[in-house]
Amino acid sequence: MRASLANYYVLTKPKIWYLLVFTSFGAMIAAGGLSVSPILALLVVTSVTLGSAGSNVLTSYLDRDMDAIMERTKQRPIPTGKITPLRALEFGLLLAVLSITGAVVIDFSIGYPLVSVIMALGMFDNIIVYSAILKRRTMWNIIAGGFSGAAPALIGYAAVTGTIDLKAILISSLVFVWIPAHIWSLSLKYKSDYAKVGVPMLPVVLSERTSIRIIATSSILIVAFSLALYFVGSFGLLYLFTASLTGAVVLVLGVQLVAKPSEEKAWRLFKFTSPYLALLFIAMIIEGVIGGLL
């Protein structure tokens, strides 16, 4: 029983939804500070967890043929036979339905369907637009699928305020512009895997030099956007300091990648982008809490 539960847990790709759920929580605190109801926070975190995990399960179901071939993914539960495709499909659909149900409950406090619509659009973007339609067709697949990564932050903010304003758009857009550099750095390291299964990720379609330049440019865009949030997003000096310090690290890693391209340097940039985004949202949370105390 314990082994079975562990397999289902792995199937949800927790390393992905951990960060997405955290951005949702961070956006909640940035929107409402200490005034956020614990019950609302629990509902949002639970719904986003279920939605993100369910989407990951369903994309794993769709990608099971590729996962069985790629070195990076062939030990996942479906390719190894630990979970059958039918069970994975059923599990993913169950999680998706439960997440929408939780979002509908949140919408009752708002008075109109806002969170549930964002949740549904986010899952549709990830499962259908990105995985089912574009992943095997274009190198820009990750751009088109970016809304699904930005949706949790948008959900967290909208659940507290009942609306989508400029600040909500800026916070969620930070995640949106973060995604390409993160994923493209990963795909640069595993380009042979993607080429093997015919997925036209950026480094597979373009030369390594061109891909690295695009990755470096997207890294600069992340830093510029994170700093812009300070000036137009009503964030304080703690956020500015965090964005400046961590942004400098991203820029250094990007410059090193361009100067001397290597899979190792691409992997180093990939590994830093997750804590980078987390640190930005931690700064938002701390400022939201401090603002609620003052």
Q: In this predicted model, what pLDDT tens digit does every residue of 30-71 receive, in sequence order?
A: 999 888 999 999 999 999 999 999 999 999 999 999 999 999
For residues 116 and 100, is the Cβ–Cβ distance under 8 A? yes
- Helical spans, DSSP H, in 163-234: 166-189, 191-196, 202-205, 208-232
Domain boundaries, the chain: 2-293
**For domain 2-293, which architecture applies?**
Orthogonal Bundle (1.10)
Which of 53-62, 91-100, 218-227 is predicted with the least confidence, judged by mean pLDDT? 218-227
Residue 132 DSSP one-character state: I
- The pLDDT tens digits for 135-194 are 999 999 999 889 999 999 999 999 999 999 988 999 999 999 999 888 888 888 888 999
**58 alpha carbon, distance to own chain's centre:** 16
pLDDT on residue 1 = 56
pTM: 0.92
SS3 122: helix
Contact 216, 255 (CB under 8 A): yes
SS3 label, residue 164: coil
The reported pLDDT for the residue numbered 219 is: 85
Distance CA 291, CA 294 (A): 5
What is the model's pLDDT at position 3? 64
What's the 3-state SS for 233-282? CCCCHHHHHHHHHHHHHHHHHHHHHHHCCCHHHHHHHHHHHHHHHHHHHH
DSSP notation for 26-46: HHHHHHHGGGS-HHHHHHHHH
CA distance 53 to 238: 32
Nearby residues of 174 by Cβ (< 8 Å), 6 or more positions away = 153, 222, 225, 226, 229, 277, 280
User: How many CA atoms lie less than 13 Å away from 29 in the CB half-sphere?
Assistant: 22
Task: Please name the residue ranges forming H helices in 133-165.
Answer: 141-144, 146-161
Q: Is the dihedral of CA 209, 145, 264, 57 positive or negative?
A: negative
pLDDT at 156: 96
d(CA 251, CA 257): 10
Encode pLDDT of 262-276 as tens digits: 778 888 888 898 899
Please report which helix (H) or strand (E) contains residue 236, including its range: none
Contact (CB, 8 A) for 8 and 54: no
What whole-number distance in Å separates Cα of residue 60 and Cα of residue 216?
29
For residues 67 and 83, what is the distance between their CA atoms, to the nearest angstrom?
A: 13
Q: Which residue in this structure is represented by tokens 């800026």? A: 170
Task: Please report, as a single letter, which amino acid is at residue 92.
Answer: G
